[in-house]
Amino acid sequence: MCKLKYVDRSIAQGSVFAESAPLLAKVEATFSLAAEIAGDWPGARQLPLSSDGVPFSCDTMFRRELELFLHRMRQRDPQAKETAEFLARTDLAVPPGPGSAREDGRFIPLRVPGGRTVRMLSRIDDGDAWTAGFLEIFRKGLTEPDSRYGVVPATDGEASAVAEAVELLARVLPETTASVLSHLAFIGVVEGPGAFESASDRKVPRAVFINRCALDDVPRTAEALLHECVHQKLYDIQLVHPIYRAGYDAGTAAVIRPSWHENAAWSFDRALAAAHVYVHLAALYTVLGHRQDSVARGVDTVTGRARTAERARFLLAAVAGLPSEAGPAGVRFIEWLMARLRQIEDCPAKGATQSHVQGAR
C-alpha cells in the first residue's frame, strides 16, 4: 500500500539534499564569511542590516552582491571592489527578515510553515533604493531587452490567493512545503505581454515571480509556487555541494532535448533542475489524488502525475547518462532523485477527475 506520508517525508528529509535546516546553516555561513572578507576592503563597513538582524542569505540584494563578490574573488577580478562599495551604502531600507514580524509598508506579509514570513511586493517606489535595486536584479535576470512585462504591485486579493495556495501545499505535502518555502523570502507579481507563468533565477536569489493571470486559481498558484521554490532550494544546494564538474560551463555542456518542447536544447544543469522540479510535482499530484482536497477537485491528478513522472524519468535517465558533467555530489543527487521517483511511482494513481490541469512546463 502507498505510504503517502513517507513520500512527503522522503523528499524533505533524510539526505544532505533534502534537509533544509543544515543546508541553510551552511549557506548563511558562506555569506557571513563573504561579507566579513568584503568588509575588509577599503571603504567597506559592516552590512547595514535592519534591527532584526536579516541573515545575509535572505535579502535578495545583499545575497546577489555577495555572490558576485565570491565569483570575482575566485576569478581574481578587480571588480570585486564594487561589493565593498555596495556594503558602504547607507540608503538601503532593508526589509524585515523571514523571522521578523516587523511591518514594512512595501510588502504584504504572508505567514508560511516553519514560523517564517514571506513578503509580497505591494508598493513599487523607484525612489526607494532597495526596491529599485530589487527590480533591477529582476530585469537583469528574468527579462530580455525587448520584454514588455514587469513587476507590478500585488493586491490584497492576490496575497490571499498565495496564502490559500500555501495552505493547500501544507495540507498535502507538509514536510516538503516547509522545506522548500524555507528558501523563499520575496514574491513578485508579474504582468504584461509575453509574461511567463512563473519564474525564478539564480541571479535573483530568494525570490519567485508569478503571473497575475495565474493568481485566480489556487491549484495553479500552488503548482507555480512549489515549482519555483524547488528551484530556489537547488540554488542553495549548488552553492554548498559540488553538483557539477569543476569548470562546468552551461554554454559548452552536453545538451539534452526534451521531446515535449519542440526544438528545445537544454544544457545539463537546466535538465537536472527540471528533473528536480518534476519529481516534486509528481509527488504533489500523487498525494493530491489520494487526498482529493476540496480546493483542488477540478485538477486531473492522474494526467498530471503521469506527465510529470514521465518527464522526470526521461530527464533523470538523460543526466545519469552524462556522468562526466556532474561533480561527486551531482552523481549522488541524481541517484537520490531516481530513488524518490521510484517511491512516488510505487503509489497507484487514485481519485482523478477529467477537468483541466495546469500541469508542469
> In the chain, where are the structural domains located?
1-17+242-354+357-361, 94-240
Q: What is the pLDDT at residue 101?
A: 87
What integer pLDDT is reported at residue 298 of this predicted model? Answer: 86
Pairwise CA distance, residues 127 & 295, whole Å: 40
Q: Show the cell assigned to 15.
A: 539526505
What pLDDT, on the 0 to 100 scale, is given for residue 44? 59
Q: Give the torsion sign (CA, 290, 294, 300, 306).
A: negative
Distance CA 220, CA 148 (A): 23
In this predicted structure, what is the pLDDT of residue 360?
Answer: 45
Q: Which stretches of the chain are DSSP H helices? A: 4-10, 20-38, 60-74, 81-87, 129-142, 156-172, 174-181, 218-240, 268-291, 301-320, 328-345
Parts of the chain with a pLDDT under 70: 1-2, 41-53, 350-361
Q: In the prediction, which pLDDT does 351 show? A: 52
The pLDDT score that the predictor gives to residue 42 is 62
Residue 353's pLDDT is what? 45
Residues forming a β-bridge with 161 = none
